């Protein structure tokens, strides 16, 4: 039995698979939008906040590619600048909810018992708070600003992230490699963050990408209500809010940020899906085996 | 009845086309049982699916025909095939736990096909189901028909599934590993039931299994599959007692047998060829100790002495047995009578199941069931000794193993590992014990973190206990890989890039990383194929001889336990019913449960004559 493994081992790496199509498209969409927004100050064709009465409500044309709004400001420039705020808002909120939700879910799913009960009931309470109400509450007592909106939105999504993490952890905690870790006295910290978390990432990524898009939407809704970005600076939600009254006369003002938001949301979702497929080592080679 | 001729099936996969079956020809005559034998990946399940006309989308029939009672399945429309399946074929799957729909009663599921194919009303079908349940030996058929799957034990469920397969009065019953998920005593009962049914109804059976002992009991003819080809085909007695094809020889030699103790088991080196590009010559040549010049030529099926063999050298090697390896270490060290490595006294563990509170009148009452998987267990394991622990599922074997390692906290009792009393200590003070005592798990897919490379997996315990410096780490990892006979470049692999046997080797290496003196082996070979199992068992035996480690070897496979153990402990319902020297337990069992367990084990080498006579029925 001595030579038994080495004789036949052809070094077979799993067939190198290209990036999934979703990932490519998602990356392209998201990347373009993020890049353009980042470069906004230098590539914006016109100043985003200069009011000019002579150029009000110009339809899209060679000078103003996406037209101008009711104060004569270039819609494209405002769109690019607003993108920064919207993306920052979405990412910020998601990061907040991940930072709190993931450890909560890990602990609840691994320790079970009263830890689980306490954390999950807490999450239930959070989940019962209507997001807009929470936003209103936080922002009503303090002057509104973008980071507070991000914090409020992130806060609202904590229970969702925590629930997903918990359910993934529940399954993983039963795996034998967790027992193996316990059999060498690993600390709970190590088991949660080094053994369980790396395996929990794929479903969490998908969830997080969904959360980014929802956060952008919710953030826009809060801005729409006047609780997020403050004029004259404007994220996409606020742009739509402002353009609402002119939608019959100048539909491009609302359409541009609406479309941009659509593209970003689709892009991020594709990105999340693609990443999950790409990252999960088990998904990669199950196919092809019989 | 069933006639498969020259069937070739390919699967489209991401890595290219995979030839799952190459020119398979088998036929089962009316009223006989044909067994298909092979290891995982050999294509046995594909044959079953083809016989049912149920091949998945990505499968493609390249050539050949499947005929059932003269009808060509390939020429039929989907609807015709469906009708044929519903009325004349019966299928029983491996896992009785996932086949039944948990939210329908047993009776309605058993009678279901009658409604669709025989035009019964649901009421009539239910009545008939009760009759069928009675026929498969279920005691209170009426009550069972009204029960839901979760209320039934595994054996009962498998009986119900068989009843369901019998409902439309089929001519052919296809059984895909019908007893693999069951305990041996239950397995024996199911086999006996199948034999009765065959005699009573004149059923034809296609029986698919990897368990040669079971096959010997039920089959008239055996076809051995290897890498999508039939390599030997003949009467059961012939093939199982005088195999001609080298692979069949190897497979049979690899099975540990109760009562004939060898030092090492024969194993088949290597692994299945890649069926995306099958070798042009003999598919087994790479692993075959008898391979010769002629092995590079494609092998054809030849009739040799009344059976088909796909080997040009069959006659030449007929009388040569498969080589059995010598023990690498000289001899097992003499068992010392000094103080034991592990000593357990009056160990108890109770689980509370359920919980929840109900109002009973005005009082709150906890409704919980108590389960005692470890009930007053006392045992010792000496240095370098293998204590085999057998028992059926649910007897508490795994719980006992984990309680000894304090992965589960005991309720009461005493555990000593080395000279340390570990039962009373809090988890954080168990550092020393954790180094001394390790564990190897059953399921190699679950026991290795899929996100870590083999190198990381092995380095972690070394680092955890500070057993080597960072510079020395790669050397130490290589030593460990070498110990379990894996090449050192495996350190860069992820678990999913290895076969089951290789993963299990890594699992063993990880347990060895802390230089333990005691290892709990929790069903370490149950998830593996026979030939791989033999290699792992040999490895464990070698390591015991080299390092003087003691094992608590937990398994439901009494053959493996008999081969490896110095002493054997038998568990039933959380209690130790018998413990003693392996030979004594195997040859002169005293406790009725041990006797029952031993008599239920299907043995390959038992020389019973007709397939119809089994051991006496069990209560």
Q: Which tens digit of pLDDT belongs to each residue from B24-46?
A: 898 888 889 999 998 888 888 88
Go through chain A and tell me how many residues it has: 290
Dist. CA A272–CA A153, nearest whole Å: 20
Which residue blocks in A50-74 are alpha helix, DSSP H?
Answer: none
**pLDDT above 70: percentage of residues in chain B:** 94
Which residue blocks in B437-591 are alpha helix, DSSP H?
Answer: 444-447, 454-464, 473-483, 500-512, 530-547, 558-564, 582-587
Please give the mean pLDDT across all residues of chain A.
81
Task: Pick from A13, A17, A176, A283 the residue to mutate for testing the B interface (most B CBs within 10 Å).
Answer: A176
Nearest to B449 among A7, A17, A177 (CB): A177
Q: What does the angle CA A269 – CA A25 – CA A163 come to, to the nearest 5 degrees?
A: 20
Nearest to B485 among A4, A182, A195 (CB): A4
Query: Please, which pLDDT band fits residue A281 given cuts at 50, 70 and 90?
Result: low
- Chain B residues within 8 A of A197 when measuring between CB atoms: none
Residue B390 predicted with pLDDT over 70:
yes
- Chain A residues within 8 A of B270 when measuring between CB atoms: 4, 7-8
Dist. CA B485–CA B591, nearest whole Å: 40
- Beta bridge partner(s), residue B369: B353
Nearest to B41 among A5, A17, A290 (CB): A290
**Which residue, among B183, B165, B186, has the nearest Cα to B174 in the 3D structure?**
B165
Nearest to A7 among B14, B269, B274 (CB): B269
Give me A73's structure tokens.
Answer: 């400001």
Give the minimum alpha-carbon distance from B254 to chain A in angstroms, rounded to a whole number. Answer: 12
Dist. CA A183–CA B507, nearest whole Å: 13
Q: What is the pLDDT of residue B125?
A: 92
Q: What is the pLDDT of residue B618?
A: 39
Kindly state the average pLDDT of the residues A146-160.
85
Kindly state the average pLDDT of the residues B286-309.
84
Query: Please, which pLDDT band fits residue B591 given cuts at 50, 70 and 90?
Result: very high
Q: Which tens digit of pLDDT belongs to each residue from B489-522?
A: 999 998 988 888 899 999 999 999 999 999 999 9
3-state secondary structure of B74: helix
Q: What is the pLDDT of residue A290?
A: 32
- Beta bridge partner(s), residue B551: B386, B519
Q: What is the pLDDT of residue B370?
A: 79
**Do B509 and A5 touch, CB atoms closer than 8 A?**
no
**Which residue, among A153, A170, A260, has the nearest Cα to A212 in the 3D structure?**
A153
Which residue blocks in chain A are alpha helix, DSSP H?
Answer: 21-38, 40-43, 75-111, 113-128, 131-141, 146-173, 176-182, 188-190, 197-224, 236-243, 251-279, 281-286
**Do A83 and A37 touch, CB atoms closer than 8 A?**
yes
Using H for helix, E for strand and C for coil, what is the string for B128-171?
HHHHHHHHCCCCCHHHHHCCCHHHCCHHHHHHHHHHHHHCCCCC
Task: Pick from A3, A5, A117 the residue to mutate for testing the B interface (most B CBs within 10 Å).
Answer: A5
Q: What is the pLDDT of residue B616?
A: 41
Q: What is the pLDDT of residue B531?
A: 81
**Do B218 and B32 touch, CB atoms closer than 8 A?**
no
Dist. CA B115–CA B124, nearest whole Å: 9
3-state secondary structure of B554: strand
Q: How many angstroms separate the Cα of B133 from the Cα of each of B110, B191, B599?
A: 8, 16, 26
**Which residue, among B247, B236, B362, has the nearest Cα to B295 in the 3D structure?**
B247
Q: Is the dihedral of CA A207, A209, A215, A220 positive or negative?
A: negative
Kindly state the average pLDDT of the residues B221-226.
92
Dist. CA B344–CA B51, nearest whole Å: 53
Greatest mean pLDDT range, A97-101, B153-157, B266-270, B530-534: A97-101
Q: What is the C-alpha end-to-end distance of chain B, expressed in Å?
A: 35
Q: Which tens digit of pLDDT belongs to each residue from A205-244?
A: 888 888 888 888 888 788 777 776 676 677 787 788 788 8
Give the minimum alpha-carbon distance from B408 to chain A in angstroms, rounded to a whole number. Answer: 10
Residue A288 predicted with pLDDT over 60:
no
Query: Please, which pLDDT band fits residue B416 given cuts at 50, 70 and 90?
Result: very high
Query: Please, which pLDDT band fits residue A103 given cuts at 50, 70 and 90?
Result: very high
**Do B539 and B418 touch, CB atoms closer than 8 A?**
no
Of the CA atoms within 13 Å of residue A26, those in its CB half-sphere come to 22
Q: What interface predicted TM-score (ipTM) does this complex get?
A: 0.80
Tell me whether residues B269 and A3 touch, CB distance under 8 A: yes
Tell me whether residues A2 and B20 touch, CB distance under 8 A: no
Range scoring the smallest mean pLDDT among A242-246, A275-279, B356-360, B477-481: B356-360
User: Is the CB of A15 inside 8 Å of chain B's CB atoms?
Assistant: yes
More confident position, A49 or A290: A49
Q: What is the pLDDT of residue B611?
A: 38
Task: Pick from B451, B518, B542 the residue to mutate for testing the A interface (most A CBs within 10 Å).
Answer: B451
Query: Please, which pLDDT band fits residue B86 given cuts at 50, 70 and 90?
Result: confident
- Chain B residues within 8 A of A176 when measuring between CB atoms: 441-443, 446-447
3-state secondary structure of A42: helix
DSSP labels, B276-345: TS--SS-TTGGG-TT--GGGGSPP--EEETTEEE--TTTTTTTTSPPPPPPPSSSSPPPPP-SS-SEEEE
**Do B311 and B382 touch, CB atoms closer than 8 A?**
no
User: Is the CB of B69 inside 8 Å of chain A's CB atoms?
Assistant: no
Q: What is the pLDDT of residue A140?
A: 74
Please give the mean pLDDT across all residues of chain B.
86
Kindly state the average pLDDT of the residues B230-235.
92
Contacts of A163 (CB under 8 A, 6+ apart): A105, A120, A123
Burial of residue B239, with CB atoms counted within 10 A of its CB: 0-12 exposed, 13-18 middle, 19 or more buried: buried
Residue A8 predicted with pLDDT over 70:
no
Give the minimum alpha-carbon distance from B434 to chain A in angstroms, rounded to a whole number. Answer: 5
Q: What is the pLDDT of residue B614?
A: 39
More confident position, B564 or B154: B564
Contacts of B318 (CB under 8 A, 6+ apart): B242, B244
Contacts of A18 (CB under 8 A, 6+ apart): none
Dist. CA B615–CA B444, nearest whole Å: 35
Q: What is the pLDDT of residue B613?
A: 38
Nearest to B407 among A2, A8, A183 (CB): A183
Q: Tokens 């240095």 correspond to what residue? A: B383
Helix axes B500-512, B530-547, angle to 10 degrees: 20
Dist. CA A70–CA A61, nearest whole Å: 16
Q: Which tens digit of pLDDT belongs to each residue from A22-47?
A: 888 989 998 998 888 888 788 877 77
Kindly state the average pLDDT of the residues B449-462.
93
Give me B155's structure tokens.
Answer: 């054996």
Tell me whether residues A7 and B270 touch, CB distance under 8 A: yes
- Beta bridge partner(s), residue B379: B344
Q: What is the pLDDT of residue A17?
A: 56
Q: What is the pLDDT of residue B354?
A: 63
Tell me whether residues B449 and A287 touch, CB distance under 8 A: no
Go through chain B and tell me how many residues it has: 619
Q: Tell me which H or E stretch contains B188.
A: helix B184-201
**Do B397 and B579 touch, CB atoms closer than 8 A?**
no
Residue A148 predicted with pLDDT over 90:
no
DSSP labels, A188-228: HHHIIIIIIHHHHHHHHHHHHHHHHHHHHHHHHHHHHTTSS
Kindly state the average pLDDT of the residues A255-267.
87
Kindly state the average pLDDT of the residues A259-281.
83
Give me B590's structure tokens.
Answer: 């005293």
Q: Which tens digit of pLDDT belongs to each residue from B107-116?
A: 999 988 888 8
User: Is the CB of A284 inside 8 Å of chain B's CB atoms?
Assistant: yes
Q: What is the pLDDT of residue B308?
A: 87
- Chain A residues within 8 A of B463 when measuring between CB atoms: none
Residue B232 predicted with pLDDT over 80:
yes
Dist. CA B115–CA B414, nearest whole Å: 60
The pTM of the full predicted model, rounded to 2 decimals, is 0.83
Contacts of A98 (CB under 8 A, 6+ apart): A161, A204, A208
Nearest to A180 among B267, B447, B450 (CB): B447
Beta strands in B382-443 (DSSP E): 386-390, 412-417, 420-421, 437-440
Q: What is the pLDDT of residue B75?
A: 83
- Chain B residues within 8 A of A9 when measuring between CB atoms: 487
Q: Which residue of A has its CA nearest to B489?
A: A11
Q: What does the angle CA B355 – CA B358 – CA B359 come to, to the nearest 5 degrees?
A: 155
Residue B619 predicted with pLDDT over 70:
no
Residue A16 predicted with pLDDT over 60:
no
- Chain B residues within 8 A of A289 when measuring between CB atoms: 13
Residue A113 — left, alpha, or beta (φ > 0 → left; ψ -120 to 50 → alpha)? left
Query: Please, which pLDDT band fits residue A248 given cuts at 50, 70 and 90?
Result: confident
Tell me whether residues A9 and B405 touch, CB distance under 8 A: no
More confident position, A64 or B220: B220
Residue B333 predicted with pLDDT over 70:
no
Give the minimum alpha-carbon distance from A114 to chain B in angstroms, rounded to a whole number. Answer: 14
**Do B324 and B255 touch, CB atoms closer than 8 A?**
no
Q: Which tens digit of pLDDT belongs to each residue from B136-184?
A: 888 889 999 998 988 888 888 888 999 998 888 888 999 988 888 788 8
Kindly state the average pLDDT of the residues B292-320.
83
Tell me whether residues A17 and B439 touch, CB distance under 8 A: no
**Do B357 and B366 touch, CB atoms closer than 8 A?**
yes
Tell me whether residues A285 and B497 touch, CB distance under 8 A: yes
Q: What is the pLDDT of residue B13?
A: 76
Dist. CA A6–CA B305, nearest whole Å: 37
Q: What is the pLDDT of residue A283?
A: 53
Nearest to B510 among A180, A185, A288 (CB): A180
């Amino acid at each position: 039995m001595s030579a038994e493994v080495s004789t036949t081992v052809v070094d077979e790496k799993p067939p190198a698979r290209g990036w999934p199509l979703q990932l490519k498209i998602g990356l392209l969409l998201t990347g373009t939008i993020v890049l353009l927004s980042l470069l906004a100050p230098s590539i914006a064709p016109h100043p985003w906040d200069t009011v000019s009465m002579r150029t009000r409500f110009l339809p899209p044309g060679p000078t103003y590619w996406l037209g101008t709004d009711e104060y004569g400001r270039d819609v494209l420039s405002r769109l690019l600048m607003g993108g920064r705020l919207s993306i920052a808002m979405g990412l910020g909120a998601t990061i907040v909810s991940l930072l709190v939700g993931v450890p909560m879910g890990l602990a609840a799913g691994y320790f079970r018992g009263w830890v689980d009960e306490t954390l999950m009931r807490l999450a239930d309470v959070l989940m019962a708070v209507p997001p807009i109400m929470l936003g209103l509450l936080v922002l009503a007592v303090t002057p509104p600003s973008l980071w507070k909106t991000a914090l409020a939105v992130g806060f609202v999504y904590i229970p969702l992230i925590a629930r997903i993490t918990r359910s993934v952890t529940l399954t993983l905690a039963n795996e034998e490699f967790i027992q193996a870790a316990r059999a060498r006295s690993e600390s709970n910290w190590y088991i949660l963050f080094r053994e369980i978390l790396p395996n929990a990432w794929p479903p969490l990524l998908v969830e997080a990408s969904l959360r980014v898009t929802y956060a952008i939407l919710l953030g826009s809704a809060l801005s729409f209500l006047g609780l997020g970005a403050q004029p004259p600076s404007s994220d996409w939600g606020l742009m739509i809010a402002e353009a609402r009254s002119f939608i019959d006369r100048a539909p491009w003002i609302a359409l541009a940020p609406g479309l941009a938001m659509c593209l970003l949301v689709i892009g991020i979702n594709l990105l999340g899906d693609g990443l999950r497929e790409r990252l999960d080592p088990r998904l990669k080679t199950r196919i092809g085996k019989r | 009845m069933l006639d498969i001729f020259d069937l070739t099936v390919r699967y489209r996969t991401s890595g290219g086309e995979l030839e799952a079956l190459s020119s398979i020809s088998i036929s089962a005559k009316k009223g006989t049982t044909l067994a298909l034998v092979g290891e995982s990946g050999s294509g046995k399940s594909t044959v079953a699916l083809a016989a049912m006309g149920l091949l998945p989308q990505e499968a493609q029939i390249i050539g050949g025909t499947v005929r059932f009672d003269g009808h060509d399945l390939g020429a039929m429309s989907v609807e015709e095939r469906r009708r044929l399946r519903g009325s004349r074929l019966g299928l029983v799957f491996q896992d009785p736990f996932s086949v039944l729909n948990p939210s329908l009663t047993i009776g309605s599921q058993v009678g279901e096909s009658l409604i669709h194919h025989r035009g019964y009303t649901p009421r009539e079908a239910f009545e008939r189901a009760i009759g069928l349940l009675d026929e498969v030996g279920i005691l209170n058929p009426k009550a069972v028909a009204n029960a839901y799957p979760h209320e039934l034990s595994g054996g009962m469920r498998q009986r119900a599934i068989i009843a369901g397969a019998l409902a439309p009065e089929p001519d052919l019953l296809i059984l895909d590993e019908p007893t693999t998920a069951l305990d041996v005593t239950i397995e024996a009962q199911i086999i006996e039931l199948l034999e009765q049914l065959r005699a009573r109804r004149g059923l034809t059976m296609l029986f698919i299994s990897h368990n040669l002992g079971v096959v010997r009991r039920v089959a008239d003819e055996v076809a051995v599959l290897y890498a999508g080809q039939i390599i030997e085909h003949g009467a059961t007695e012939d093939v199982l007692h005088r195999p001609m094809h080298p692979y069949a020889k190897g497979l049979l030699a690899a099975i540990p047998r109760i009562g004939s103790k060898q030092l090492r088991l024969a194993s088949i080196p290597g692994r299945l060829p890649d069926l995306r590009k099958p070798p042009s010559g003999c598919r087994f040549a790479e692993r075959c100790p008898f391979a010769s010049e002629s092995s590079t030529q494609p092998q054809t099926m030849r009739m040799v002495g009344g059976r088909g063999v796909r080997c040009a050298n069959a006659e030449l090697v007929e009388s040569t047995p498969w080589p059995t390896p010598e023990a690498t270490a000289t001899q097992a060290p003499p068992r010392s009578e000094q103080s034991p490595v592990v000593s357990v006294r009056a160990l108890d563990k109770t689980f509370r199941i359920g919980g929840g509170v109900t109002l009973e009148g005005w009082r709150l009452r906890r409704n919980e069931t108590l389960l005692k998987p470890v009930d007053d267990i006392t045992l010792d394991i000496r240095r370098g000794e293998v204590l085999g622990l057998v028992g059926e599922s649910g007897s508490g074997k795994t719980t006992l193993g984990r309680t000894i390692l304090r992965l589960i906290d005991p309720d009461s009792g005493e555990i000593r590992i080395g000279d340390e009393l570990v039962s009373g200590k809090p988890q954080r003070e168990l550092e020393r014990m954790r180094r001394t005592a390790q564990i190897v798990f059953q399921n190699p897919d679950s026991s290795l973190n899929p996100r870590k490379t083999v190198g990381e997996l092995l380095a972690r315990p070394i680092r955890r206990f500070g057993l080597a410096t960072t510079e020395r780490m790669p050397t130490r990892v290589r030593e460990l890989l070498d110990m379990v006979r894996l090449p050192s470049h495996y350190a860069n692999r992820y678990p999913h890039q290895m076969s089951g046997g290789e993963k299990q080797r890594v699992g063993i290496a990880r347990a060895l990383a802390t230089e333990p003196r005691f290892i709990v082996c929790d069903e370490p070979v149950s998830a593996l194929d026979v030939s791989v199992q033999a290699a792992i068992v040999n490895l464990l035996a070698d390591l015991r001889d080299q390092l003087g480690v003691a094992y608590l070897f937990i398994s439901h496979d009494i053959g493996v336990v008999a081969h490896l153990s110095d002493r054997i402990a038998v568990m039933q319902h959380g209690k130790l019913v018998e413990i003693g020297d392996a030979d004594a337990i195997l040859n002169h069992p005293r406790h009725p449960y041990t006797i029952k367990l031993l008599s239920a084990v299907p043995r390959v080498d038992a020389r019973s004559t007709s397939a119809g006579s089994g051991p006496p029925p069990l209560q």
